[in-house]
Amino acid sequence: MLKTRIIPTLLWKNVGLVKGIGFDSWRRVGSLLPAIRVYNTRQVDELILVDITATDEHRSPDFETVNEISCECFVPFTVGGGIKSTQDIKELLRCGADKVAINSAAFKSPQLISEGAQIFGSQCIVASIDAKKNSRGKYECYSNSGKKNEHIEVGEWAKKLEELGAGEILITSIEQDGTMKGYDTNLIRTITKVVSIPVIASGGAGNYEDMYKAIEKGKASAVAAASIFHYTQQTPMEAKEYLATKNVPVRITKISQDDHSSDRGLVLGLF
């Protein structure tokens, strides 16, 4: 059976690992490579790495850093931030990314998704959506790290992205992100109701039960989380053990009997 994935998200800004609240108040929480080295030895299913300032600074993705990461990273990983062309995608895949996450550029040029899917296959094109509820209670899409309202309803945009050839959707609630108050399961369900590709839930995980709700109520195929792993004692491995007790299929490798206590609050713990 295909397992539900637990995916730590690492956001970086000038090689520093950061985390914010509601896409704001960015705080430096460590360095990228040491964090990856720790996750390597743990049973994380995938990693998502996003360069959060690339689009705003009109930069291309930082290929050199991705190359360095891939030399160290034995976990499948997705890279996002600043991707504007199929050349960028090609370069990132060559640098070792398994998948790329595209957000802002898809609004300006939806053909980037279709061309990317055609050349590299849908399986490596993750369409990322950052969403916020408007005053009428509808979820709207935002680009440029949550700064620009694209005035498109999320369900509509998700369907469009699937039609264009996206292989997965990464949905992040801007309002919940970094709060550790739980995922917005309604938002996740809004997406999973209208698409048949896998959906990765993101934004708001504070405990393992939140993850369970995103999977059970939101119908997510995977859950991404950052703060919970940066700031608390909770670990990806324990998350899986908890989910297993709720009959969620997860990958627990029995060969490894390592003590995984050292990845608690792993990033802050490095200082």
Partner 1 sequence: MQIVVIDYGMSNLGSIGNALSECGAENVIIANDPKELKSATHIILPGVGSFKDGMDNLVKFGFKDAIRDAALVDKVPILGICLGMQLMADKGYEGGEVDGLGLISGVVDKLKPVNKQEKIPHVGWNEIYCKQKNPIFEGIPDGTDFYFVHSYHFIPKKKSNILSETPYCGNFVSSIVSDNIYGTQFHPEKSQRPGFQLLRNFIKL
Applying CB under 8 A, which of residues 51, 62, 88, 98 lies at the interface with partner 1?
A: 98
Between helix 63-72 and helix 32-41 the angle, nearest 10°, is: 30
Applying CB under 8 A, which of residues 124, 188, 214, 226 lies at the interface with partner 1?
A: 124
Q: Which is nearer to partner 1, 79 or 180 (CB)?
A: 79
Under the binding rule (CB under 8 A), the answer on residue 118 touching partner 1 is yes
CA–CA distance, 168 with 197 (Å, rounded to integer): 6
Applying CB under 8 A, which of residues 17, 36, 49, 95 lies at the interface with partner 1?
A: 95
How far lies 160's CA from each of 57, 167, 169, in Å?
27, 12, 11
Between helix 63-72 and helix 86-94 the angle, nearest 10°, is: 30
Residue corresponding to tokens 């890279």: 79
Closest by CA position to 5, among listed 232, 224, 241: 224
Applying CB under 8 A, which of residues 253, 262, 268, 269 lies at the interface with partner 1?
A: 253
Return the range that interacts with partner 1 (CB under 8 A); candidates 50-58, 113-121, 141-149, 227-235. Answer: 113-121
Residues 189-208, mask of contacts with partner 1 (x by CB under 8 A): -------xxx----------
Residue corresponding to tokens 């899986």: 240
Under the binding rule (CB under 8 A), the answer on residue 221 touching partner 1 is yes
Return the range that interacts with partner 1 (CB under 8 A); candidates 2-10, 137-145, 148-156, 228-236. Answer: 2-10
| Number of residues forming the site for partner 1 (CB under 8 A) | 40
Instruction: Dihedral sign for Cα 161, 164, 169, 170, please.
Output: negative
Residues 155-184 that bind partner 1 (CB under 8 A): 167-168
Under the binding rule (CB under 8 A), the answer on residue 5 touching partner 1 is yes
User: Considering the complex, what minimum distance in angstroms separates the CB of residue 151 from partner 1?
Assistant: 29
CA–CA distance, 35 with 230 (Å, rounded to integer): 10
CA 5 to chain centre: 11
Backbone φ and ψ for 171, nearest 5 degrees, come out as -110, 120
CB 133, CB 139: distance < 8 Å: yes
Applying CB under 8 A, which of residues 3, 159, 260, 264 lies at the interface with partner 1?
A: 3
User: Considering the complex, what minimum distance in angstroms separates the CB of residue 27 from partner 1?
Assistant: 30
H/E stretch holding 11 reads strand 5-13
User: Considering the complex, what minimum distance in angstroms separates the CB of residue 32 from partner 1?
Assistant: 16
Residues within the interface to partner 1 (CB under 8 A): 1-5, 43, 45-46, 67, 70-71, 73-76, 93-99, 118-124, 167-168, 196-198, 221-222, 251, 253, 255-256
